[in-house]
Amino acid sequence: MSFVSVVILLGTPEAIAIADRLATKHNNMTSAAVFVSDGLSRAIPTKLRLQPGVCTLAMPNQQIVEIRPTTVRFFDEIFNQVASTKPAKPLKIPDASPSVAVVQREPLSWLVDAKQRNTFFTEIKRDPRWTVKANALVLAEPKKKTKSEVIFDTSFRVVEIRLTMNNKVITDWKYRYVSDKDVPAIPKTAKAVLGLPSRPSLPAKTNGQAVLLAQKVWRSVSRLENRTVTQTNDEGTYHLTLKSSGISEKGPKGSWTLVGMTLTINPNKGATKTMKGTSSKFLDALRAAGVDASPFAWYVLNRKVPYLDIFDQSELIDLEGQGSFGGKTLSILSLKRRSNRIRMYIDPKSGDLTMISSDALDLGGNVISSSRMKISYQ
């Protein structure tokens, strides 16, 4: 952002001195933790951490990006997964950080781009209409009904840049300086993946509470490691165990274990079979051996987060309220499509799916068949 100066002269000595102190303070700010926001937007602030050679952005969409000259790490808080990329050429830190921001890119750019910021202060020093009032540099133009303000704190850090026209705020960038611990880092427990899964695109009119509950489900189904998921449906009961060392499942027609890229199948009828290959072949091998994979296992073997695709394809998502099932209070999320309706029964605290039902619908919306699966976790 820049203010257009009509007269190219020297500013008042006091304004020049303050502009110099502000520029010096920011140019020497090699480490900082800042909440950056736009007062005209309802988006929550982007949390920025500046350190020598590294810049971290914790963004409103629950993603954290860590930027270094030769590596950029993207972390999704919902899925607890992190993916890394290498830029084609070394990045300038922290100048490159706004390029990955979801919102508030302009105020971020001003804060991290020294060249842009110095141009900003140079323009202020050239214009004699700038004055100092309390803790602000102010340029008021009554004829144009505009007022520009650069507000700073006692440490000469800029805390707000505001432009008003006809009593209406046109620009309002805000900077809140916080402690380092207030900006989250990518956790060491994050699962490294080749690429982050895409979050489902929910229908535009989805209720806010339904969105929050859906995100709780996504958190739960993406954090299955070190858990055993027991699933009971019309086919029988499946016990799926997921560990960092491997995956195993015992079902009504046999059991199987996957360690690395080696799949061992133990059907109830027939000899044990072992195969090495890619994930795309594992389901075919199980079918050929007469062993079924559970619904959760089907997703895991396809390297997908369970049930994300159902959210992505839904035309309507409703929160139907709560009910008592087996002595537990569960929230009911209804996902509707043209050919079926799916209900998810969810622990409102953990986001764990405890039951899922599916109704097939005819063209008139009538139920023609139903299925249900109960789920528990150990």
For residue 61, give the CATH number of its domain: 2.50.20
Mean pLDDT of the chain: 93
Nearest C-alpha neighbor of 197 from the set 295, 99, 308: 308
The boundaries of the domain holding residue 319 are 197-222+306-377
- The last residue of one of the domains, among 155, 182, 209, is 182
Q: Which of 283, 301, 319 is the last residue of a domain?
A: 301
Query: pLDDT tens digits for 110-146?
Result: 999 999 999 999 999 999 999 999 999 999 999 889 9
Whether residues 44 and 157 share a domain: the answer is yes
User: Which of these three, 256, 286, 301, is where a domain ends?
Assistant: 301
In a domain, 155, yes or no: yes
At residue 8, the pLDDT reads 36
Residue-wise pLDDT for 316-335, tens only, equals 999 999 988 888 999 999 99
Question: Judging by beta carbons within 10 Å of its beta carbon (0-12, 13-18, 19+), is residue 367 exposed, middle or buried?
Answer: exposed
In a domain, 280, yes or no: yes
Q: Are 62 and 124 within one domain?
A: yes
* Same domain, yes or no: 109 and 174: yes
Predicted pLDDT at 11: 53
Domain-located, residue 136: yes
Based on the domain organization, do 147 and 240 belong to the same domain?
no
Give 336-346 pLDDT, tens digit per residue: 988 889 999 99
Q: Are residues 330 and 273 in the same domain?
A: no
For 64-68, 277-281, 327-331, 363-367, which range has the lowest pLDDT when averaged over its residues?
363-367
pLDDT score of 240: 98
Q: Which residues of 231-245 are buried (b: 16+ CB within 10 A; e: fewer)?
A: bbeeeeebbbbbeee
C-beta separation of 213 from 331 below 8 A: yes
Q: Among the listed ranges 8-12, 171-175, 204-208, which one has the minimum average pLDDT value?
A: 8-12
Same domain for 46 and 114, yes or no, is yes
Residue 354: predicted pLDDT: 97
Evaluate whether residue 54 is within a structural domain.
Answer: yes
> Each residue of 260-315: pLDDT tens digit?
999 999 999 889 999 998 777 899 999 999 999 999 999 999 989 999 999 998 99
Does residue 7 fall inside a structural domain? no
Does 273 lie in the same domain as 372?
no
Residue 191 is assigned to a structural domain of this protein: no
Q: Is residue 11 part of a domain?
A: no
Q: DSSP states of 20-82 as a string?
A: HHHHHHHHT--SEEEEEEETT--SPPEEEEEETTEEEEE-TTSEEEEE-SS-EEEEETTTTEE
Residues 112, 218, single domain; the answer is: no
Residue 343, phi then psi, degrees to nearest 5: -115, 130
Residue 18 lies inside a defined structural domain of this protein: no
263 and 212 assigned to the same domain: no
pLDDT computed for residue 370 by the predictor: 87
**Whether residue 242 is found in the same domain as residue 256:** yes
DSSP 70-124: S-EEEEETTTTEEEEE--SSPPPTTTTGGGG-SS-HHHHHHHH-HHHHHHHHHHH
Domain shared by 63 and 99, yes or no? yes
**Average pLDDT for residues 51-65, to the nearest whole number?**
97
Distance CA 371, CA 352 (A): 19
Do 247 and 342 fall within a single domain? no
Tally of domains within the chain: 3
Is the separation of the CB atoms in 237 and 231 below 8 Å? yes
Distance CA 6, CA 8 (A): 6
